[in-house]
Amino acid sequence: MAIFKILIVFASLFFYNFSLLAVESDTVKTSSSDFETGNFEDEIYDPLEPINRAIFGFNNVADKIVLEPIAKGYRKLPSPIQTGIGNFLSNLKMPLVIVNQLLQGQGKNAGESTGRFVVNSTAGLFGLFDVADKIGLEQTQEDFGQTLATWGVGDGFYLVLPIFGPSNVRDTAGMILAYTTDPVNAYAVREGEPWILPVRTATNAVDQRSKIIDEVNAMRNNSLDYYAAVRSSYYQYRKAAILNIDDNSQTPLPLITIEFE
């Protein structure tokens, strides 16, 4: 695991250095009508809205002050480095993706994901290079929230988690399951290296945030009610994920979310 530790330390160091290089991203041309909510929004159960709005406000400030500037610095890195880090992080998630595909009865997808994990972990140098994609092994994503939904568990009420962003009762339970069952996290704790967990989480957050800088700013600046727009977008995105709509056909999710794994 020496190489794994070196990669993690490298990631944490460059986040600090490149946060000093942050620059304004290109502007996405949108209007307020792009983010208007409709009947779908009225169906969302949000009994904790006053508390959720307060937490949402805190997360929004934290994003502006910390996460967004670091993500902009990250985008200054050469594209191959960003792609390599993203590939590496994605490969670390594959064991749980495979588990969830099996739990949902997706045998074919589980087999293909297993092939991706084996190929990218070996020929792809621990996942830095997506060799599997070049030989036709497509990437699909499944998580415990989707598995619970497939088993008939309802959304529950809407939640905004401090730092971790929009969620609901079911997806929060799924996130906790991911944190407690992830083999990489378990290995890090067992080997007395718990620092890997927050570094991995922070690296994931920056990598994901860097991909939606313009979209988040467009929603933030043009929504009549930014909180309601994010809430609606979250539910629409999760519904698409649960129904297994092709990832390539989904609209990029302009949400600030952080994953444990």
What digits encode the pLDDT tens for the residues 197-236? 999 999 999 999 999 898 898 999 998 999 999 999 999 9
What pLDDT, on a 0 to 100 scale, did the predictor assign at position 53?
Answer: 97
What pLDDT, on a 0 to 100 scale, did the predictor assign at position 247?
Answer: 53
If you write DSSP's letter for every residue of the chain in order, what string do you get? -HHHHHHHHHHHHHHHHHGGG--PPPPP---GGGG---HHHHT---TTHHHHHHHHHHHHHHIIIIIHHHHHHHTTS-HHHHHHHHHHHHHHHHHHHHHHHHHTT-HHHHHHHHHHHHHHHHTTTTTTS-HHHHTT-------HHHHHHHTT----SEEEETTTEEEEHHHHHHHHHHHHH-HHHHHHHHTT-TTHHHHHHHHHHHHHHHTTHHHHHHHHHH-SSHHHHHHHHHHHHHHHHHTT--GGGSPP---------
Output 66-69 pairs: Cβ under 8 A, ≥24 positions apart: 67/205, 67/206, 67/209, 67/256, 68/22, 68/209, 68/213, 68/216, 69/19, 69/22
pLDDT at 21 over 80: no
Give the mean pLDDT of the chain.
82
Give CA separation, 12 vs 18, 67, 80, 104, 243, in Å: 10, 13, 18, 35, 35
- Residue with the bigger pLDDT between 123 and 250: it is 123
What pLDDT, on a 0 to 100 scale, did the predictor assign at position 253?
Answer: 52
| Residues 114-127: tens digit of each pLDDT | 999 999 999 999 99
What pLDDT, on a 0 to 100 scale, did the predictor assign at position 257?
Answer: 57
Residue 13 — φ and ψ, nearest 5°? -70, -45
Give CA separation, 60 vs 154, 165, 179, 218, in Å: 27, 9, 24, 14
pLDDT at 90 over 80: yes
What pLDDT, on a 0 to 100 scale, did the predictor assign at position 26?
Answer: 42
**Among candidates 217, 184, 239, 192, which has minimal Cα distance to 28?**
217
pLDDT at 16 over 70: no
- Residue with the bigger pLDDT between 181 and 17: it is 181
| Residues 126-149: tens digit of each pLDDT | 999 999 988 988 888 899 999 999
pLDDT at 24 over 80: no
| Residues 32-58: tens digit of each pLDDT | 444 444 444 557 999 999 999 999 999
pLDDT at 23 over 50: no
Q: Give the span between the Cα atoms of 184 and 196, in whole angstroms.
A: 9
